[in-house]
Amino acid sequence: MSPSAAAPILRTPRLLLRGFTRADVDAFAAMEADPEVRRYRGGNTLDRQQAWTSVQLHLGQWPLRGYGVFAVTDAGDGGFRGFAGLLHPADWPEPELAYSLARPFWGQGLATEAATAVRDWAFATFGLPELASFILPGNLASQRVAARIGAVREGSVTIRGLVAERWVHPAPGRGVVA
């Protein structure tokens, strides 16, 4: 994977996925301050400074890894909805197809739409045999998104002291890799 300084732009019928900008920070910080949004992502809410640092992580992955996390925005009005992308901090075992939306946008199929766009882009761009999503037990909504786009639960992984289910997204034509 060759590094790229900036995120590409992905479009779906309802969404525009692009690199984070300074204009996204307040909406992202509000999302990350919501205990329900953070419930299955480590549990601790983030303050504005921590959210800023998280945006820096998302942006930094692009030049370091050649992939990263997209800001998910409305295709019509540009409003921030959440994020989706390949999350891969230094201590992650592999790139994760990750997604999270601000609570007002839950239950509308937007996470499925965004995750599908990222998955398809990642497979087409990098030729990966599979992707994984790390989903904490009890996160039924995220499990439904993963299953809806073809992922299958395969074991577990411990990340930063949390045991997560490892959901595998096989590349097109590969089936589930055992």
Q: Running DSSP on this structure, what letter comes out for residue 129?
A: S
- Fold for the domain defined by 10-128: Aminopeptidase (3.40.630)
Give pLDDT tens digits for 8-46. 999 999 999 999 999 999 999 999 999 888 887 877 888
Higher pLDDT, 5 or 6: 6
Encoding tokens for residue 74?
A: 């409305």
**Res 63: pLDDT:** 94
- Those residues with Cβ within 8 angstroms of residue 59's Cβ, 6 or more apart along the chain or in another chain: 19, 20, 68
**Res 124: pLDDT:** 95
Strand order across the beta sheet in which 15-18 lies: 10-11, 15-18, 69-74, 80-87, 96-101, 130-135, 162-170, 152-159
Domain ranges of the chain: 10-128
Q: Distances from the Cα of 128 to the Cαs of 21, 46, 123, 132, 142, in angstroms?
A: 28, 32, 6, 11, 22
**Res 178: pLDDT:** 46
Average pLDDT over residues 59-84: 95
- Could you write out the three-class secondary structure of 57-94? HHHHHHHHHCCCEEEEEECCCCCEEEEEEEECCCCCCC
Give pLDDT tens digits for 75-128. 999 999 999 999 998 998 899 999 999 999 999 999 999 999 999 999 999 989
The band of 69, judged by pLDDT with boundaries at 50, 70 and 90, is very high
Amino acid at 134: F
**Res 114: pLDDT:** 98
Lowest mean pLDDT among 1-10, 33-42, 56-65, 131-140: 1-10
**Can you tell me the distance from the alpha carbon of 63 to that of 10, in angstroms, rounded to the nearest whole number?**
18
